[in-house]
Amino acid sequence: MDIKNIIMAVVSLGGMGLIFGAVLAFASQKFAVEIDPRAIEIRNALPGANCGACGFPGCDGFANAVLAGKTSVNGCPVGGPESASKIAEIMGVAAVAGEKKTARVLCKGGDNCLSRFEYDGIEDCKAENMIGGGGSKACTYGCLGGGDCVQVCSFDAIHINEYGVAEVNPEKCTACGLCITACPKNIIELVPYNQTVFVDCINLEIGGHVKKNCSNACIACKICVKNCPEDAIHVENNVARIDYEKCTNCGICFEKCPTNAITIDKENNRIIVNE
């Protein structure tokens, strides 16, 4: 190949590169999607956990949803009031402060709950729950202690305690709800942060075997209902439930409960104690 052909090939390729580059530059300007600068500001106001607890794919998804009016400025449970206030200022709206909440594991079974069989599989609640109609625990509503909730928590707020029951540290919990979704027993709920009295049982069964299976189980005796001065606790589907809006944390139900199914935290440390 002589030098003339080489030069022509180089010039041709260079010319084609310039043409394609110009076309791409024109297209990028012509079809560019304008980014609302507020989206970047909202993104910077968020904690950056990208946990999806808001219901959208990450913090960028939440920021775009706020701009589109698909969610409120306080829709990020992790950021809390601080992020909500900043986003409200960016959007030029008022932030409605919600009551702070924390996750709570409504179970005190652990060592107080009998076992139906010895589970010798992978340490995973979902896997164990598929064995024997609900896992090894005699109470099929009880915490299995496999730690699925621990694995999904991005804030190191939940651990398996010495009794083999998952326990939440309210000071670290952001109420993102990921542990609630991960639990196959559905025994984790969001509760008011300032609440100190809880019915730590959700066993819906009835009969003498409930108490035999777990010494801390609610037996729906209604003693707590009869003694509550605020009408804040009722038995629903064979288990006592507290109306947190009515409850004054007086602790009378705790004192009257014959099975220790009700927990009170007088020192505000919220540590589950199995007696």
Q: Is residue 25 part of a domain?
A: no
Residues 76 and 155 in one domain: no
**Is the pLDDT score of 268 beyond 50?**
no
Q: Give the count of domains, the chain.
A: 2
Q: Is residue 274 part of a domain?
A: no
Residue 149 confidence class, pLDDT cut points 50, 70, 90: very high
The CATH number of residue 60's host domain is: 1.10.15.40
pLDDT digits (tens, 9 = 90+) for 113-126: 999 999 999 999 99
Domain assignment of residue 41, given as a range: 37-91
Residue 273 confidence class, pLDDT cut points 50, 70, 90: very low
pLDDT digits (tens, 9 = 90+) for 215-254: 999 999 999 999 999 999 999 999 999 999 999 999 999 9
According to DSSP, the residues that pair with 159 across neighbouring strands are: 167
What is the value of pTM for the model shown? 0.74
Residue 159 confidence class, pLDDT cut points 50, 70, 90: very high
The CATH number of residue 160's host domain is: 3.30.70.20
Q: Write the CA distances from 178 to 181, 188, 209, 210, integer angstroms.
A: 5, 10, 32, 29
Strand ranges inside 24-177, DSSP E? 101-105, 158-160, 166-168
User: Is residue 78 a contact partner of residue 69, using CB atoms and an 8 Å limit?
Assistant: no
> Both tokens of residue 119?
């589970």
256 burial type by CB count under 10 A (0-12 exposed, 13-18 middle, 19+ buried): middle
51: left (phi over 0), alpha (psi -120 to 50) or beta: alpha
